[in-house]
Structure 1
Amino acid sequence: MAHQHAHADAHQEHAHHGHGPHGHEPAARAGSWRTAAQATLHCLTGCAIGEVLGMVLGTAFGLHNGATVVLSVALAFVFGYALTMRGVLKAGLDLPSALKVALAADTVSIVVMEIVDNAVMVGVPGAMDAGLGSALFWLALAFSLVVAFVLTVPVNRWLIARGKGHAVVHAYHGGHQDHGH
């Protein structure tokens, strides 16, 4: 009987965090948008570090636009995965397991983010050739990151609702990762 009571309490706690068993509860829907935004922001942090570093290095070394984009995308994946791995390594996972979690949690999100981000950068006339001292370069880069965030949140919400994406990371934080409580 005590086991059933503990299970019910755990279920209520689980639902309280916006992760109901089927995701149909109104609180779960509101929570899932919040969770998706937090997951996207986490992913954006790593992507932005890599993206900005790649754009800066590519521009500083005078690489052509294609090479700069490839460098930015590669560094975005490195930093995006590294941030997730840092968190799950702290939770006690070994390196191979942490890498698997990072790949499962962030790959789709980073791919979407990088496609959008780089499409915007390449699409803004003159932004890639503007140089590091140009306001156009920095404004286009900031704008591209904002657009990438806005378009990636629904993707992450869809993934999390299906137990994929950043939902995988929550399993290694005991389901009690900071949700703004």
Structure 2
Amino acid sequence: MDHSGHHHPSPGSTSHSEHGHAHHAAEHSGHETSANPTATWGMAAQATLHCLTGCAIGEVLGMVIGAWAGLSNVATIVLAVALAFVFGYALTMRGVLRAGVDFRSALKVALAADTISIAVMEILDNGVMLIVPGAMDAGLASWLFWVALAGALLVAFVLTTPVNKWLISRGKGHAVIHQYHQGH
């Protein structure tokens, strides 16, 4: 549907023109919080996967360092969560910086896009690691440690995707970086 309220009759023009219109509107709205009723499960899954990539790097690195150094479970989780946020933000900032945005603005975009998603993901995956009996104490050579960690990340992905869909539908979360992914 365009600004005049008319539907586009040809099926081929629907996805391109609606996508172009949504992109154009987001670019010129003056703020990033306009609702996006076209948020799809695919968009949410892609945003979650992007977030999970940074989270998983930080999470695995934190768990490995914590287990290797013999840190307590609490210290290991604190390290894993901190690194998950660092890597999650870094991946988002990398894409935004590549679009020509200055560092400070890129950091603001990353904070707005990823904070809720990373927080939900970290609560879920660390919760799973704590719930699985012996997973935190299993050590790096144990299959239990790695299976529990993989399962924890999978649970985090599945349960964070609806959160991201809700955020995107309200113009929040990864919706704020949509214009930067389009090369602007």
What range describes the TM-score normalised by the shorter chain of this pair?
0.7 to 0.9
Match of 1:15 in 2: 18
Q: Structure 1 residues 96, 83: CA separation in 2 closer, same or farther (over 3 Å shift)?
A: same
Q: Distance in 1 between matches of 2:147 and 2:105?
A: 38
Partner of residue 171, structure 1: 179
Q: How far 1:41 moved relative to its partner?
A: 0.1
Match for residue 40 of structure 1?
48
Instruction: Pick from 139, 154, 159 the counterpart of residue 131 of structure 1.
Output: 139
Of 97, 100, 122, the residue aligned with 1:89 is 97
| Alignment of 1:73 onto 2:88 | no
1:121 to 121, 129, 137: 129
Residue 152 of structure 1 aligns to a residue in which SS? helix
Equivalent in 62, 66, 77 of residue 70 of structure 2: 62
- The corresponding residue for 1:102 is 110
Shift of 1:172: 1.9
Identity %: 68
Post-superposition offset of 1:11: 9.3
Q: Look up the match of 1:153.
A: 161
3-state secondary structure, aligned to 2:135? coil
Residue 173 of structure 1 and its aligned partner are, at CA, apart by 2.7
SS at match of 1:166: helix
Query: What is the SS of the residue equivalent to 2:108?
Result: helix
Instruction: Please report the RMSD computed on the Cα atoms of aligned residues, expressed in angstroms.
Output: 2.6
| Counterpart contact for 2:67–2:76, Cα < 8 Å | yes
C-alpha displacement of 1:171: 1.9
* 1:148–1:12 CA distance, 2 compared to 1 (3 A): closer
Distance 1:138 1:18, change over 3 A: farther
Alignment: residue pair count = 164
Q: For residues 4-44 of structure 1, what are the alpha-carbon distances to aligned partners after superposition, in whole Å with 9 as ceiling and x for unaligned?
A: 9xxx9x996352479598655xxx36xx1100000000000
Assess, with a 3 A threshold, how the Cα gap between structure 1 residues 158 and 61 changes in structure 2: closer, same or farther.
Answer: same
Q: Distance in 1 between matches of 2:79 and 2:17?
A: 40
Change (3 A) 1:122 1:141: same
**Uncovered stretches (5+) of structure 1, i.e. residues with no partner:** none
1:148 is displaced (CA, Å) by: 0.1
Q: Name the aligned partner's letter for residue 98 of structure 1.
A: A
Compare relative contact order (CA 8 Å, sep 6+) and give the higher one, 1 or 2. Answer: 2
Contact 2:48 2:164 in 1 (8 A): yes
